[in-house]
């Protein structure tokens, strides 16, 4: 009523996504890059993907506008590699462990629920038995 609201109107689809994932206004960037890299590489991808590729993808995503938490960034990085058709055969077992890990992080409130839902949906479609 008096213009005190800090909510912003989404300027584009990316803003809408960020608001849906993190609320409006979204939090400031808070991902610990090194920790996210290690989580993605070791816990989600089980060391199967070259660590340098994981580092590069982590840096690229972290540089974008999405205010990832550390665990959200790790999930997003891992999802990038799980979705690549050339990686599907080598990551088929890792994806099961990653899905369980994502659910555990969700229970511990370390990840955004919408992100875990999306992660699960994508992996189910790509890796279903």
Task: Report, as an integer, the average pLDDT of 71-99.
Answer: 97
CA distance 1 to 119: 38
pLDDT category at 2 given cuts 50, 70, 90 is: very low
CA atoms within 13 A on the CB side of 76: 26
Task: Report, as an integer, the average pLDDT of 1-24.
Answer: 68
121, pLDDT greater than 70: yes
CA distance 43 to 45: 6
CA distance 121 to 36: 21
By the 10 Å C-beta count (0-12 exposed, 13-18 middle, 19+ buried), 39 is classed as buried
pLDDT in tens, 24-83: 888 888 999 999 999 999 999 999 999 999 999 999 999 999 999 999 999 999 999 999
pLDDT value of position 10 = 55
Return the structure tokens found at 3. 């213009």
Average pLDDT for the chain: 91
């Amino acid at each position: 009523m008096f213009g005190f609201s800090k909510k912003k109107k989404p300027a584009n689809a990316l803003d809408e996504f960020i608001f849906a994932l993190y609320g409006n206004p979204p939090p400031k960037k808070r991902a610990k890059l090194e920790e996210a890299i290690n989580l993605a590489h070791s816990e989600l991808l089980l060391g199967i993907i070259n660590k340098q590729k994981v580092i590069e993808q982590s840096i690229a995503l972290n540089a974008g506008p999405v205010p990832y938490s550390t665990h959200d960034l790790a999930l997003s990085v891992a999802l990038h590699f799980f979705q690549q058709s050339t990686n599907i055969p080598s990551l088929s077992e890792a994806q099961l462990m990653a899905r369980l890990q994502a659910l555990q992080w969700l229970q511990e409130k370390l990840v955004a629920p919408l992100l875990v839902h999306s992660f699960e949906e994508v992996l189910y479609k790509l890796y279903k038995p």
